[in-house]
Structure 1
Amino acid sequence: MFGDAATDPPQAVEVLNPQGAGVALILCEHASNHIPARYDGLGLDAEVRSSHAAWDPGARSLSLLISAALDATVVASCVSRLVYDCNRPPEASNAMPVKSEKFDIPGNQSLSQASREERIATVYRPFCDAVDDVVAARQAAGRPTVLITMHSFTPVYFGRPRAVEIGILHDDDSRLANAMLAQAHLLPHRRIERNEPYGPADGVTHSLKIHGQVHGFANVMLEVRNDLLRTAEDEQAMANELMTLITPALETLTLEGAGRV
């Protein structure tokens, strides 16, 4: 389980394959369930700290597998989303959630403004700064970019089973999502849906907007049901399936200028 070490990692964010020459930049905001020692476990037991509430199981592994296939840079958070959800702006009520699905988060109850600012400064800002640095380097080199954010979701939410297996999400810019959905027939055994199990109205497209749309990058958020990611073999199989959608989708996108696809 990534990030559940006895000691804190030296940083809040990691940049993997920083010299990747591929067109894609992959973000994994919920890569880790690590809760830094200064937060005293947020008052949670081990079951909650390892659950989908604390991270997106399999999302980091998928990010790395797709990175290898595309020679893509990956920016991943090293801190649990229960400390700070890097796919939410500071003003969002669920950036530091007091409850996640059925789980109460004691360490997030009645946070002072100073405590909130500390988490913004030590978790969220470093993640955003790392993305900005990668984007700036790509733009300076005149390299086209598409943005992919990688997530997983629980098969049962508030007691209700979810039939969707792969969600392809977008906000105002649907270019990459449309191009991927046009290839869904290549995976007839999978239930693939647009803006499911979440969509823009749920506030999940923050990263797409501030790291993708603002630069004119074609962008997409991928959600994979986590019961399909239980083993390394599952993760590799799913990465192959996602590449079945991603590869032809990238080929259909037209270059629109330096730093854009």
Structure 2
Amino acid sequence: MTQAFTRIDGGPLDLLIVADHASNHVPADIDLGIDPALLDDHIAIDIGVAEVSALLAQQLGCTAILGGVSRLVIDLNREDDAPGLLPVMSDGHAIPGNRGADLAERMIRFHHPYHHAVGALLADMASPFILSVHSFTPRLASDPAQKRPWDIGILYNADDRAARIAIPMLEVAGLMVGDQLPYSGRLLNATMNRHAEANGIPYLGIEMRQDLVSDAAGQKRFAEIIGPVALACRSRLA
């Protein structure tokens, strides 16, 4: 493990699980200036993602790479010049410690090593497929009227091949599926744009609803549903 990422070696299958926001870790030398309780909130971590990704890596016999720091330290799912890379506000909460932070230092320390590791793992695969795992909050504090009823969302930019395979399978499994919901992958797809779409690598981008994967039973349920879907996408596309 490095501070930039954690790697889980579940087996040799050419399928890479990528989880940008799996951690709420803040290194000891970084002070975000926030209530520590917020580190367990959706603004700091994609709740349930680390656990589901680990279950999937073992179930599928593949590798997973999990982001090693909180998205409040650096957002690994943002382009190098994106405004939200080093957040100073998140869902109504100020992140005062980031106002004077050295963006270049955090990029060198966390963002670059993480994306280098993702690229290196994919380069070693003969026929790679990526499963991108995120989770979303059912309720935004800054927009409480917004309804987010979906159990799972499927995100993509230009490449919707896996989405078209996965959505009907997830619906058959009993999930309420959002196609490009609760937000569009055409806007929030930086890691997959970089490693998948730019290189012609097929991928499935999923967003699980956090309250459904906040405990071990929910995490196990989603891993058991997602695993066969990811394999079906890979077998048809990779």
Match of 2:139 among 123, 144, 156: 156
Mapped contact 1:86–1:95 kept (Cα < 8 A): yes
The aligned amino acid for 1:109 is R
1:229 maps to 213
Secondary structure of the residue aligned to 2:220 is: helix
Alignment partners' CA distance in 2, 1:183 and 1:23: 21
2:76 maps to 86
2:107 maps to 120
> 1:192 and 2:194 equivalent?
no
Mapped contact 1:177–1:220 kept (Cα < 8 A): yes
1:36 maps to 27
Q: TM-score, normalization: structure 2?
A: 0.93
Deviations 1:111-155 (A, max 9, x none): 4xxx010000001001011112112222xxxx2111111111111
Secondary structure of the residue aligned to 2:131 is: strand
Mapped contact 1:149–1:222 kept (Cα < 8 A): yes
Deviations 1:195-229 (A, max 9, x none): 11111343x21111111112211112110000001
Shift of 1:164: 1.1
Please say which structure displays the higher CA radius of gyration: 1
Match of 2:5 among 7, 13, 19: 13
Alignment partners' CA distance in 1, 2:76 and 2:189: 11
Secondary structure of the residue aligned to 1:14 is: strand
Deviation >2 Å, runs of 4+: 243-251
Q: TM-score, normalization: structure 1?
A: 0.85
Alignment partners' CA distance in 2, 1:201 and 1:131: 21
Mapped contact 2:14–2:129 kept (Cα < 8 A): yes
Secondary structure of the residue aligned to 1:61 is: helix
Structure 1: any 5+ residue segments left out of the alignment?
Answer: 1-8, 255-260
Match of 1:27 among 7, 18, 36: 18
Shift of 1:110: 4.3
2:117 maps to 130
Report the CA distance shift for 1:16/1:88 in structure 2 as closer, same or farther (over 3 A): same
Alignment partners' CA distance in 2, 1:125 and 1:248: 31
Alignment partners' CA distance in 1, 2:170 and 2:67: 29
Secondary structure of the residue aligned to 1:38 is: coil
Residues 38-57 of structure 1 mapped to structure 2, 5 A cutoff: 38-40=29-31, 42-57=32-47
Alignment partners' CA distance in 2, 1:145 and 1:136: 8
Report the CA distance shift for 1:201/1:174 in structure 2 as closer, same or farther (over 3 A): closer
Mapped contact 1:169–1:221 kept (Cα < 8 A): yes
Residues 174-253 of structure 1 mapped to structure 2, 5 A cutoff: 174-188=160-174, 190-202=175-187, 204-251=188-235, 253=236
Mapped contact 2:78–2:85 kept (Cα < 8 A): yes
Aligned residues: 235
Report the CA distance shift for 1:244/1:16 in structure 2 as closer, same or farther (over 3 A): closer
Alignment partners' CA distance in 1, 2:169 and 2:99: 44
Alignment partners' CA distance in 2, 1:249 and 1:128: 23
Q: CA RMSD in A?
A: 1.6
Shift of 1:15: 1.6
Mapped contact 2:150–2:177 kept (Cα < 8 A): yes
Report the CA distance shift for 1:10/1:148 in structure 2 as closer, same or farther (over 3 A): closer
Mapped contact 1:181–1:245 kept (Cα < 8 A): no
Alignment partners' CA distance in 2, 1:24 and 1:71: 9
> 1:166 and 2:152 equivalent?
yes
Shift of 1:67: 1.1
Structure 2: any 5+ residue segments left out of the alignment?
Answer: none
Deviations 1:224-259 (A, max 9, x none): 0000012111100111122243333333x14xxxxx
